[in-house]
A and B are shown apart, each in its own frame.
Chain A
Amino acid sequence: MVMPSWMTGALALLALAGGCAGPQFTESPTVTLSGAEQALKEARATRAAEFAALEVQMAEDKLEQARSIAESGEQLGRSRRLAEQAEIDARLAIIKAETERLQQMRRQLEETIELLRKDLDS
């Protein structure tokens, strides 16, 4: 996945050409792909799909697409965008799942507290 130097050169040229187009992304697709891979790995490890199935699925699909585009060596911008989206989809899934688990804990605690109160009153 290491980018040939001519490709880096071409990217730099592209960046120059689009000078007036605002900030440009110099991050290579390899970097963005690994960010998405890492996020998805965490999402799987924390079983985020149990609570945020849609976001995890979106992330998986986008990462796969990003990978195959990156391998073809063309449309690097598209690969980078897909990888960025995959990463944030996965991160959102992780946060949502964490929140859902905390809410479950909260409900359990509320129930136990209710029981303890009853025990104390009796």
Chain B
Amino acid sequence: MKRILALLAVALISACTTAPNGTPELADLRATYRAVSDVPEIRANAAYFLHQADEAIKRAGSTFDAAEYDHQIYMARRYLGMAQAVTKRERSKREVEQLTDQHNQLRRKLRAEQEASASRHTEVLEAELAAMEATRVDRGVMVTLQDVLFTLGRTDLIPSAQDELRTVSNFLRNHPDRILVVEGHTDSLANTNYNRVLSERRANAVKHALVAQGIDPDRIISRGYGEARPIASNRTETGRQRNRRVEIVILTESETPPSSE
């Protein structure tokens, strides 16, 4: 019995001496471990996994079980892989954070610029409207063309009316999103039907003049109201003169254009 025990002890001791501490595989792994743990970024981000890799390498170096040895080698490699992967992920996270900040900054800057440009736009608009002697109405701004711009009793515009309309068409070119309504009106001297037709034709003449100056006809709605909407008394000549007019209303952006009749 003693002999058996002694033999067993010898066997155990010899087994211990043959622990695979010096295999080339382990030497390689230790070298990789040193290389990976030498990188400060990895040390800073993945100390836990470096420690685990180190432990696994130690276990591989001291086990006698071939399967356990293979397992610890595998785990050590994986822990080193994790250390690198986690470091890369943390770096990506920081990059995304930085880019998000940059993105938000640019967005704020762009918004500020847009607001500044919108307010400049408004100033320009105000100046242009003042130049046109436009009046503000609920629907937008209104420019009134007096009947002196038309040949008496006819529907064609006199040549100087073109200049008057050029301020309107310039405005429309600068503000391509605006739509306008051209409305013709007369006094009440002739019969109602004639007046309506005359006012329609005069509104149309204005529309055509604007189209000739390069404005898209789809942006212009023209209609004639005849004598139905006087702005002054038809009993005096001055009143009648004020009633004979073409109104051009540049609708505000929010205003939906009325459907053409």
Contacts and interface: CB of A to CB of B under 8 A. Distances in A.
A110 B89 contact: no
A58 to B, nearest CB: 10
A112 B101 CA distance: 12
Given A95-B89, A98-B89, A21 B103 contact: no
Contact of B71 (A21, A85, A106, A109): A85
Nearest to A116: B106
A88 interface: yes
Contacts of A91: 82
A92 B106 contact: no
Contact of B78 (A88, A106, A116): A88
B75 A84 contact: yes
Contact of A22 (B58, B78, B107): B58
B51 interface: no
Contacts, number: 84
B67 A77 contact: yes
A68 interface: no
17 contacts: A20-B15, A20-B16, A21-B16, A21-B62, A21-B65, A22-B62, A23-B62, A81-B68, A88-B75, A89-B78, A95-B86, A95-B89, A99-B85, A99-B89, A99-B92, A113-B99, A113-B103
Interface of B: 12, 15-16, 19, 58-59, 61-65, 67-68, 71, 74-75, 78-79, 81-82, 85-86, 88-89, 92-93, 95-96, 99-100, 102-103, 106-107, 109-110, 113
